[in-house]
Amino acid sequence: MRYTGNKVIEEDMQGKATMMPANIQINNKKLYIESYGCQMNFSDSEIVASILIDEGYTTVADYKDADVILVNTCSIRENAEQRVFNRLRNYQAVKKTRPGAIIGMLGCMAERLKSQLLERDRLVDLVVGPDAYRSLPELLQNAESGQKAVNVLLSREETYADISPVRLDNNGISAFISIMRGCDNMCSFCVVPFTRGRERSRDPESIVREARELLLKGYKEITLLGQNVDSYKWNITSKGEIIDPKEDVVRFSGLLEKVALVSKELRIRFSTSHPKDMNDDVIETMAKYDNICEYIHLPVQSGNNNILDKMNRGYTREWYFERIDSIRRIMPNCAISTDIIIGFCDETDQDFEETYDLMDRVEFDFAYMFKYSERPKTLAERNFIDNVPEEIKSERLQKIIDLQRAKSLLSNQKMIGKECQVLIEGISKRSDNQLFGRNSQNMVVIINKDDLKKGQYVDVLVDSCSSATLFATVIKKNNN
The Cα–Cα gap between 66 and 149 comes to: 19
* Cβ proximity of 211 and 266 under 8 Å: yes
Give this prediction's pTM: 0.85
Predicted local distance difference test score (pLDDT) of residue 3: 37
* Cβ proximity of 98 and 68 under 8 Å: no
Residue ranges of domains in the chain, CATH in brackets:
2-151 (3.40.50.12160), 174-413 (3.80.30.20), 419-477 (2.40.50.140)
Helices of type H across 69-107? 78-92, 94-97
Bridge partner list, 472: 462
Predicted local distance difference test score (pLDDT) of residue 172: 82
Reported as a single tens digit per residue, the pLDDT across 379-401 is: 999 999 999 999 999 999 999 99
The ranges of the chain with pLDDT < 50 are 1-27
Predicted local distance difference test score (pLDDT) of residue 155: 83
**Collapsed DSSP state (helix, strand, coil) of residue 415:** coil
Predicted local distance difference test score (pLDDT) of residue 6: 36
Predicted local distance difference test score (pLDDT) of residue 401: 97
* Cβ proximity of 70 and 31 under 8 Å: yes
Which positions ≥6 away from 115 have C-beta within 8 Å?
A: none
For the beta carbon of residue 450, count every other beta carbon within 10 angstroms: 12
Cross-sheet strand order for the sheet of 68-73: 57-59, 29-35, 68-73, 102-107, 126-128, 150-151
Reported as a single tens digit per residue, the pLDDT across 360-373 is: 999 999 999 999 98
**Collapsed DSSP state (helix, strand, coil) of residue 398:** helix
* Cβ proximity of 378 and 189 under 8 Å: yes
Predicted local distance difference test score (pLDDT) of residue 121: 66
The Cα–Cα gap between 30 and 362 comes to: 49
DSSP state of 242: B
- In DSSP notation, 112-140 reads HHHHIIIIIS---SEEE-TT-GGGHHHHH
Task: Report the amino acid identity of residue 103.
Answer: I
> What angle is formed at CA 255 by the lines to CA 251 and CA 259, rounded to 5 degrees?
175
Q: What kind and span of H or E run contains 8? A: strand 7-11
Task: Report the amino acid identity of residue 8.
Answer: V
Let me know if 264 is exposed, middle or buried by CB neighbors in 10 A (0-12, 13-18, 19+).
exposed
> What angle is formed at CA 168 by the lines to CA 53 and CA 85, rounded to 5 degrees?
90
Predicted local distance difference test score (pLDDT) of residue 120: 64
DSSP state of 26: -
Residue 19 φ then ψ, to 5° = -115, 135
Closest CA to 71 of 95, 101, 106, 22: 106
Q: What kind and span of H or E run contains 328? A: helix 317-330
Predicted local distance difference test score (pLDDT) of residue 5: 39
DSSP state of 239: T
The Cα–Cα gap between 246 and 403 comes to: 52
The Cα–Cα gap between 465 and 445 comes to: 9
